[in-house]
Amino acid sequence: MLELPVIDRPREEASADEAGSKDSRGNYAFISLGCPKNLVDSEKMLGHLALDGYTLVSEPQGSDFVIVNTCGFIDSSRAESKAVIQEMIDLKQAGRTKGVIVAGCLPERLGGANLRAEMPEIDHIVGVFARDEIAKVADRLVGNVNEQREVFRPAPIRALDDRARLRITPSHYAYLKISEGCNRTCTFCSIPMMRGKHATKPIEEVVAEARELAADGVKELMLVAQDTTYYGIDLYGEMKLVELIEELEQVDGIEWIRLMYLYPVNFTDRLIEKIATSPKVIPYLDMPLQHVNSKVLRRMSRRVNRERTEALVRKLRESIDNLVLRTTFIAGFPGETEAQFEELVDFVQDMRFERMGVFPYSIEPGTPAVKLDGHLPEDVKAARVDRLMQVQQQIAFEFAESLVGYELDVLIDGNNGDGFSIGRTFADAPEIDANVYVRGAEGREGEFVSVEITGRDDYDWVGEVVANDA
C-alpha cells in the first residue's frame, strides 16, 4: 500500500515530495473531486502512476501534466468540475503545465466527444472504468502521441480491484469500496448512467484489501458503495453484508467500521442485530431517505413508503444503543406540494436525525424525473432547503449539547496549529460531519484518545484529554 499525507484543502489535491526520483518518467499533479467512491478511484490511479515511475508533485504549476478526476453527479458538481478543468487549461495555455488529462464521472455523463467539443484544449479523456489505464494515457501524453485520446471501457461484471492504492486520506482511516454501480431505478438519479449496474466485490477481495489497509496503519474503515445494503445479491444470490462484516471484524488493527450509503430497503433483522452487537461496527449509519411522503417516494421510484420508512427508523433507534443517524433529503422534487413538504418537515422534527443534508432537486438530463409534471421554481426549492436546514440546525445543536460533560473516545485526525488537535467521535464521518477540538492531544494523530467534552461551538465540540489517558 502506497501512502500520501492528507491535504487540508476544500478539494483534494494530491501532494508528495517535490524532489522526484532520478529515473522518473515525468511529474504530475492530481486533483480529485466528488464523493469517497471517486476518491478510491483517484487513489487507484495514483497507485498505477507511482508504480509506472511517475512522480507526484504538490502543485500543478511546473508539472508535466495535471489529472482532474471529476464528479458528474448533479449540475453543481459538473459546474465545479468544469471550472477546475478550465483552471488547469489556463495554466497550460500560460505555459505552466504541459498537459491536462480529465478522468472520471464527467466524461461518462457527458460523453467524450461532447466534453471535447466544449473544452477542446483537454489533451486526454479517461472514463470511470478505464482508470487502470491511466499510466498508458500518461505515456501517450508525455510522448506526444495523439492517438487514442479518449479511453472508455464498459462497466465491469465484477467490481474492480482497489488494492495497491496511493492514499490521500490520513494513514489511520480509509474508504473501502465494496461494490460498484447501482441497480436502483430512482427517477432523479444519473449514477447508473455513469457507474453501470451493481457489481459486488467478492468477500475475499474486500477482506484482502482491508488487511492491506490495516497493515498500512488504518484503524477506521468506512464501507462505501452506491447501495451498501444490496451487497452480495448479484454475485451470491442473497445479501451478504452481514457475512462481510463478520469477516472484517477479524482483521487485526481495524477498530472502527463505519457503514455508509445504506439504502433503506434490505435492512433485515439479522443485519440490524449484527450492527447492534458488533465489536467493531460503530453505531453510526448513513442512510439516505430522500423523502417521507409516500406519493413523492413513489414518484421517486424509491420502492418504500412513509409507513415502512418510519418503522425502520424507529426499529433502528430501539435496537442499536447510542445510534447516530445521518440522512439526506431532496426538497422541491417535481410535484411536491406545500403539504407534502410540511410532512417532511414534521418527520424531521419527529425523528431527530443527528446528522442530515438537504439538496434542492436538480434536473438531470436523461433521468425519468425530467418528464414528470409539476417542476418547481428554483426560488421555491431554495426556500424549502433553507427551511428544512433551519429545523435540522436546532436538532443538531441540541444533540451536540447533550454530549457536553461526557467522556468519549476521539480519533485524532490532525492539528489546527492553534493549540488544538482535531478529531472525531463515533458520531462523525470525515469531511461531512462535526469535529472535536481537543487540548492535550498534541502529537497523537491517528490515535484514539479519551476526551471529556467540555463545550460546543455550533455543530462542533471542544474537549480536553482525560488525565489518565494523557
pLDDT digits (tens, 9 = 90+) for 21-32: 446 789 999 999
Tell me whether residue 139 is in a domain. Answer: yes
The predicted structure's pLDDT at residue 53: 96
Do 214 and 236 share a domain, yes or no? yes
* 111 φψ region: left (φ > 0), alpha (ψ -120 to 50), beta (else): left
Tell me, yes or no, whether 185 and 326 share the same domain: yes
**Separation between Cα atoms, residue 378 and residue 80, nearest integer Å:** 19
d(CA 441, CA 430): 18
* pLDDT at residue number 4: 32
411 and 395 share one domain: no
| pLDDT 10s digits, 172-223 | 999 999 999 999 999 999 999 999 999 999 999 999 999 999 999 999 999 9
pLDDT by residue (tens digit) across 30-72? 999 999 999 999 999 999 999 999 999 989 999 999 999 999 9
Average pLDDT over residues 389-397: 97
Number of domains in the chain: 3
Task: For strands 421-424 and 407-415, give the pairing.
Answer: antiparallel
State the residue for C-alpha cell 498508458.
136
- Residue 108 shares a structural domain with residue 190: no
Q: Indicate whether 161 belongs to any domain.
A: no
Domain-located, residue 93: yes
Of 38, 118, 64, the C-alpha closest to 86 is 118
Could you give the CA distance from residue 102 to residue 34 in angstroms, rounded to a whole number? 14
Q: What is the mean pLDDT of the chain?
A: 93
Single-letter code of the amino acid located at 226: Q
Q: Under 8 Å CB-to-CB from 78, ≥6 apart: which residues?
A: 70, 71, 72, 106, 109, 110
pLDDT at 470: 62
Q: Are residues 231 and 338 in the same domain?
A: yes
Binding-site entries: 35, 71, 105, 182, 186, 189
pLDDT of 10 > 60? The answer is no
The residue type found at 86 is Q
Q: Which of 128, 151, 174 is the last residue of a domain?
A: 151
> Which range is least confidently modeled, 144-153, 328-337, 424-433?
144-153
Q: What is the CATH number of the domain that holds 432?
A: 2.40.50.140
**Is residue 112 located within the same domain as residue 241?**
no
pLDDT band at residue 16 using 50, 70 and 90 as cut-offs: very low
Q: Are residues 232 and 335 in the same domain?
A: yes
Total Cβ atoms within 10 A of residue 455: 13
Amino acid letter for position 3: E
- 157 domain-assigned: no
Residues in the chain: 470
Binding residues for [4Fe-4S] cluster: 35, 71, 105, 182, 186, 189
Phi, psi of 186 (to 5 degrees): -55, 130
The C-alpha angle with vertex 397 and arms to 392 and 400, in degrees rounded to 5, equals 125
Examine residue 159 and state whether it is found in any structural domain, yes or no.
Answer: no
Who's near 275: CB < 8 A, 6+ residues apart? Answer: 245, 259, 281, 283, 285, 320
pLDDT of 146 strictly over 70: yes
Q: Which residue has the higher pLDDT, 436 or 157?
A: 436
Is residue 397 located within the same domain as residue 415?
Answer: no
Q: What's the rounded mean pLDDT across residues 238-267?
A: 97
Query: Is the same domain home to 116 and 183?
Result: no
The domain boundary residue, chosen from 151, 181, 204: 151
Task: Show the 3-state SS of the chain.
Answer: CEECCCCCCCCEEECCCCCCCCCCCEEEEEEECCCHHHHHHHHHHHHHHHHCCEEECCCCCCECEEEEEECCCCHHHHHHHHHHHHHHHHHHHCCCECCEEEEEHHHHHHCHHHHHHHCCCCCEEECHHHHHHHHHHHHHHHCCCCCCCEECCCCCCCCCCCCCCEECCCCCEEEEECEECCCCCCCCCCHHHHHCCCEECCHHHHHHHHHHHHHCCCCEEEEECCCHHHCCHHHHCCCCHHHHHHHHCCCCCCCEEEECCCCCCCCCHHHHHHHHHCCCEEEEEECCCECCCHHHHHHHCCCCCHHHHHHHHHHHHHHCCCCEEEEEEEECCCCCCHHHHHHHHHHHHHHCCCEEEEEECCCCCCCHHHHCCCCCCHHHHHHHHHHHHHHHHHHHHHHHHHCCCCEEEEEEEEECCCCCEEEECCCCCCCCCCCEEEECCCCCCCCEEEEEEEEEECCEEEEEECHHHC
Work out the percent of the chain whose per-residue pLDDT is above 70: 95
HSE-up of 464 (CA within 13 Å, CB side)? 6
Q: Are residues 240 and 339 in the same domain?
A: yes
Per-residue model confidence (pLDDT) at position 23 = 64
Selection from 404, 391, 319 nearest residue 348 by Cα: 391
CB 356 within 8 A of CB 328: yes
Q: Which three cell numbers stand for residue 464?
A: 480536553
What pLDDT, on a 0 to 100 scale, did the predictor assign at position 145? Answer: 86
Range of the domain at 274: 166-401
Banded model confidence at residue 77, pLDDT cuts 50, 70, 90: very high
Evaluate whether residue 328 is within a structural domain.
yes
Residues 293 and 200 in one domain: yes
Whole-angstrom CA distances from 374 to 37, 186, 251, 275, 340 are 33, 17, 51, 40, 13
For the ranges 143-152, 302-311, 390-399, which has the lowest average pLDDT? 143-152
Q: CB neighbours of 36 closer than 8 A, spacing ≥ 6? A: 175, 222, 224, 260
| Domain closes at, from 358, 375, 401 | 401
Residue 120 grid coordinates: 477542446
